[in-house]
Chain A
């Protein structure tokens, strides 16, 4: 236990360096490298060269990241991959990072799109293998501020192919929610006019959303980083969420359930993703999603390869494809996030005929990217740098989450 706490502390310091250093190029990783040098990831072998493709690959993905036509026959970038490489893909969706960690441990999957609150846990657990970026032809085009980050690399060793990043959106039904909301207060209001129809995300990581709200509305609580909460700050966030619980229609982790709830009117406001908003719009139902000015939590996702992968060569092929201009453009455009590949924006502008997409999502704007509070695993060594107090861990958050739902 002590040993892992040390790991965790060092990993935390590494994450700290990201927010403090404020500089994104991989070379500024001087800070990052040094801080990360104490983190000893388990010894998982890395592929030295590519061999023959195995003919199959098992993909564990956030819904919307690997569409194979089963949701909508016109949305399919998996089949072109299969045709090119001969790797037949089976795609499994998961609803939360916890589920992803759990599923990868079974060893049944080859690749996973992991958010920042899953990546370090996977690395520390030996569940993912270091990625040889020399074997990925499209890695060079990945935006520099996404490479060698504390959440996707250790000791200068990359563990995956960045996919993209985005924010959790405040989503609402414009026919019911009037006037249009402008702030997260609409879902945290103790006596909301939409009581009984609010839908928050069903994961302990949502506590960070409450903490972010408190950060803006109750500065005397002293919250500087929504993932660095000491016992009192956590208690305040829990109280806020318990109040919200009384007005919740459903907590969602299955995107389809949320889509159905919005369409049937059982939920009218809550946290959602652009991709779900797109789906509801496609069904011609009223919906709007946006990022409030006060900011939001979000995620920066990396495709990782399982250490138990049975099809490592097809796995590399997938990473290269999904990080390449066509794959990245298709998935980022469909999902509604900033693509990691710099070339993707050109593809979106020409193929999808959308020249404003990358601007809207601030695809190349490093400074903007830093404003989003990406999902990170809370650890006891406070991520905001405080040394005098112990911060609550993800295990504490998990227990608190059960208590919140009641």
Chain B
């Protein structure tokens, strides 16, 4: 297989502007942020004190509440991912393998349209649904604002981000494989478990990158439907925007970055990154 080698100079020239933008500006901004994690603020005036200190990280590790919040956020992220995967699989399978081409196109449009409805409005609509005087209370279900409502709302919000990669992944699955499996006598569930699932796994992981990342950093939907719940994003946002404690916010922001970097490294091998 011949692949032409573009002159190194040209590659460099092509790469320079994007790399300047992302590498220098974005990475630089991230670096500056984490540098600030080693500073502190004057308690009284709120001004930055640019003196190296490990106090922020010490506080993070010692006070149990931050561990609790981190674990809670991770737990919610996992739950949301599982719920979304469970909902996305049958829908995507139907779209990719069962629906006629015309219906398929309609379904894709139907899945995409809610993405254009404002995230805020959707969260607020769920606030209304979860309220004690909302429509769900008619059915006797009125969870109120809290963790359960939060998981439901987040799963709802991120569902299209899971359906689309899984749909794309299932389209690549040759029908003949399914046929072959049936010919060999496997019932549908076995075919699903041993043929479909392994091949659609990278797509599921790709979708999970979104659900994880979006949940780890969310602080707005939490405020709208979460009641008194605190998530990682809230602590960061509040420390920055309210307590004016940028160093501590930056220190706590290290946690989701580490989680996502670790996650990305772990899933690189599954090939999910190609499916993004």
CA distance A125 to B65 in the complex (A): 30
B44 at interface by CB-CB < 8 Å: yes
B135 at interface by CB-CB < 8 Å: no
Chain A residue, CB-CB nearest to B228? A248
Task: State the total of A-B contacts with C-beta under 8 angstroms.
Answer: 85
Complex interface residues of chain B between 216 and 230 (CB less than 8 A to chain A): 227-228, 230
- Taking a contact as CB atoms under 8 Å apart, the answer to whether A402 and B230 are in contact is yes
CA distance A194 to B29 in the complex (A): 47
- Taking a contact as CB atoms under 8 Å apart, the answer to whether A102 and B228 are in contact is no
CA distance A4 to B43 in the complex (A): 9
Complex interface residues of chain A between 191 and 235 (CB less than 8 A to chain B): 196
CA distance A218 to B131 in the complex (A): 37
Interfacial chain B residues near A120, Cβ < 8 Å: 44
Are A379 and B132 CB-contacts (below 8 A) given A249-B228, A266-B145, A406-B68?
A: no
CA distance A399 to B66 in the complex (A): 10
CA distance A196 to B148 in the complex (A): 14
Interfacial chain A residues near B242, Cβ < 8 Å: 96, 98-99, 102
- Taking a contact as CB atoms under 8 Å apart, the answer to whether B228 and A98 are in contact is no
Are A265 and B230 CB-contacts (below 8 A) given A250-B145, A399-B59, A402-B235?
A: no
- Taking a contact as CB atoms under 8 Å apart, the answer to whether A7 and B244 are in contact is no
CA distance A126 to B44 in the complex (A): 12
Of A271-279, A342-350, A390-398, the one with at least 4 CB within 8 A of chain B: A390-398
Complex interface residues of chain A between 1 and 25 (CB less than 8 A to chain B): 1, 4, 7-8
Instruction: Count residues on chain A whose CB falls below 8 Å from chain B CBs.
Output: 36
Complex interface residues of chain A between 98 and 123 (CB less than 8 A to chain B): 98-99, 101-102, 105, 120-121
B198 at interface by CB-CB < 8 Å: no
- Taking a contact as CB atoms under 8 Å apart, the answer to whether A266 and B132 are in contact is yes
- Taking a contact as CB atoms under 8 Å apart, the answer to whether A4 and B42 are in contact is yes
Interfacial chain A residues near B227, Cβ < 8 Å: 248-250
Task: Say which size band chain B's interface belongs to.
Answer: 20 to 34
Complex interface residues of chain A between 70 and 106 (CB less than 8 A to chain B): 96, 98-99, 101-102, 105
- Taking a contact as CB atoms under 8 Å apart, the answer to whether B144 and A196 are in contact is yes
Could you mark each residue 124-168 of chain B with 1 if its beta carbon is under 8 Å from any beta carbon of chain A, else 0?
000000011110000000001100000000000000000000000
Interfacial chain A residues near B47, Cβ < 8 Å: 125
- Taking a contact as CB atoms under 8 Å apart, the answer to whether B230 and A405 are in contact is yes
Interfacial chain A residues near B131, Cβ < 8 Å: 264-266
- Expressed in whole angstroms, the minimum distance between the Cβ of B77 and any Cβ of chain A is 18
Chain A residue, CB-CB nearest to B66? A402
Interfacial chain A residues near B66, Cβ < 8 Å: 402
Complex interface residues of chain A between 373 and 406 (CB less than 8 A to chain B): 377, 379, 393-395, 398-399, 402-403, 405-406
B276 at interface by CB-CB < 8 Å: no
B11 at interface by CB-CB < 8 Å: no
CA distance A131 to B35 in the complex (A): 38
CA distance A403 to B69 in the complex (A): 10
A251 at interface by CB-CB < 8 Å: yes
Could you list 17 further interchain pairs (A-B, Cβ under 8 angstroms) beyond the known A402-B66, A402-B238? A8-B43, A98-B243, A99-B241, A102-B46, A102-B244, A105-B46, A121-B46, A249-B145, A249-B227, A250-B145, A250-B228, A264-B133, A394-B44, A399-B63, A403-B64, A405-B228, A406-B230
